[in-house]
Amino acid sequence: MPVLTDNIRGALIMMCAMCAYTFNDAFMKALSDEIPLFQAIFFRGMAAVVFLTILCRIMGQLRFDLSRRDWGLVLLRTVGEVGGTYFFLTALFNMPIANVSAILQALPLAVSLAAALFLREALGWRRLSAICVGFAGVLLIIQPGGADFSFYSLYALGAVGCVTVRDIAVRSMSRTVPAVFVALVAAVGVTCLGAIGSQFIEWAPFSTTSGLQLFGATGFLIFGYIASVNAMRFGEIAYVAPFRYTSLLVALALGIVIFDEWPNVLALCGAGVVVATGLFTLYRETKLKIRQPMVPDRIR
């Protein structure tokens, strides 16, 4: 019987994390039929805050003695998380889940480019070429001016921009900053977004179906968070990180089976280009030993 190595174990856990995150997205998208965006963000955020607070206490990471610089970066990351949540869920509520997920796969490319521009990290011609090709793939997914173009694609791009700011902030933090505490602050920020936005909408009552959908979204989000933390603890980044792209395959399947959404050929080709260039970029970054974000990838 084959023995699971740490890398294989980490890859399997990462795949589970990405499946959980994508199922969370599917539940949130289904919830949009009954519950307004900000109301859904608020209730799911409350559950995330409670969970992360308990986890912080258990892990001894509930601390507020950070330096002024690190507090500034934590708050900048939170702003990126809040913006990313708003743009991502707005796009998700109005677009096929596979298209939104495919656009989000451009994140490693955007982070690499931003790190070179703002953090002075080395960016060779190979990775720069991959980034350019990858962004061309994003255009194939969005198809500006085409019959299948959706204005909400721009919201998905806005989410990429905000999450890039979030991850660049993480790269700049001191290594002593507790990862779970950073995620807790972000969860508080996202919950506040829901609370503020809810003041300007008419709340909808939860039915049994919408209540179960919210419960499912919250449960998968929490499971995804725990799994993504453990994935990086078990395996090497070079081996584990590429399995993040599992989320795109799951999104394609869920879109077809649950939402009857079929991406067109151009969108599928664009998704393939983005994934291929993203994998190459991750490979080059790992080979050059560029520091990766320390905090799990999303509260969205």
Measured between alpha carbons, how far is 21 from 217 in angstroms, rounded to an integer? Answer: 9
* 161, two tokens: 């921009």
Measured between alpha carbons, how far is 297 from 300 in angstroms, rounded to an integer? Answer: 9
Measured between alpha carbons, how far is 82 from 10 in angstroms, rounded to an integer? Answer: 28
196, amino acid identity: I
Measured between alpha carbons, how far is 26 from 28 in angstroms, rounded to an integer? Answer: 5
Q: What is the pLDDT along the chain (300 residues), one digit of tens a residue?
A: 456 778 788 889 889 989 999 999 999 999 999 999 999 999 999 999 999 999 999 999 998 999 999 999 999 999 999 999 999 999 999 999 999 999 999 988 998 899 888 888 888 888 899 999 999 999 999 988 777 788 999 999 999 999 999 989 988 888 888 888 988 999 999 999 999 999 999 999 999 999 999 999 999 988 888 887 777 667 676 677 788 889 999 999 999 999 999 888 999 999 999 999 988 887 777 776 555 545 556 656
Domain boundaries, the chain: 6-287
In terms of DSSP H, where are the helices of 95-207?
97-104, 107-118, 125-142, 153-172, 179-198
Are the CB atoms for 174 and 70 separated by under 8 Å? yes
